[in-house]
Amino acid sequence: MEDHGSAALGRLLAAMPEAIQATHADLGDATALVDPAAVVEVLRFLRDDADCEFEMLTDLCAVDYLGETPRFEVVYHLYSVTKNHRLRVKARVAEDPCEIATACDLWPSANWMEREVWDLYGIRFTGHPELKRLLLYEDFEGHPLRKDYPKERRQPLVGPRN
């Protein structure tokens, strides 16, 4: 896999050095760990800059690193259709307050993916137009993809085992 995103990553590092906490390009995936407070500015820069032009937010997900602080990590995968390169932007989110600014204003595709992350991880996206559960139902208790949610746990609206 060729390393396409390094140029964009270098451009980002040059433009906003204070917001970038770490970078790596392991396995050919250019990655930037950014300050959660500045994530929207970074994403906006990446979308609008002429050398980056990430018009597409391909994927948005979260990872639960239980035991580490900050506990969660929100991962944005960006893709540029015109430049054909990818970049991964990550931001750490603490357990309390478990929130980060929304990217809905930049890309409408973030809407459902943020709802999914809220649903499964309980990370609140501030400024999201309608942050409600996407895959599970409203009465569901807890956020199942958190590592401390037991796999065997039964929910009130789910019927008995047999």
Closest contact distance (angstroms) between CB of 23 and other proteins is: 13
| Amino acid identity for residue 118 in this structure | W
Closest contact distance (angstroms) between CB of 159 and other proteins is: 13
Query: What percentage of the chain's residues is helix, strand, coil (to nearest 5)?
Result: 25, 25, 50
- The set of long-range contacts for 60-68, using a CB threshold of 8 Å and a minimum separation of 24, is 60/103, 60/110, 60/113, 60/114, 60/117, 61/113, 61/116, 61/117, 62/93, 62/117, 62/120, 62/121, 62/123, 62/145, 64/121, 64/145, 64/146, 64/147, 66/146, 66/147, 66/148
Closest contact distance (angstroms) between CB of 15 and other proteins is: 23
Judged by beta carbon, residue 13 or residue 65, the one nearer other proteins is 65
Site for other proteins in 76-115 (CB under 8 A): 77, 79, 81, 84, 86, 88, 107-109, 111-113
Site for other proteins in 10-29 (CB under 8 A): 26-27, 29
- Is 31 a binding residue for other proteins by CB under 8 A? The answer is yes
Which residue among 61, 95, 98, 124 contacts other proteins (CB under 8 A)?
61
Give the Cα separation of 135 and 132 in Å (integer): 10
* H/E stretch holding 10: helix 6-15
- Is 144 a binding residue for other proteins by CB under 8 A? The answer is yes
- Is 151 a binding residue for other proteins by CB under 8 A? The answer is yes
- Is 50 a binding residue for other proteins by CB under 8 A? The answer is no
Residues binding other proteins (CB under 8 A): 1-2, 4, 26-27, 29, 31, 55-59, 61, 63-64, 75, 77, 79, 81, 84, 86, 88, 107-109, 111-113, 116, 120, 129-130, 133-137, 144-145, 147, 149, 151, 162
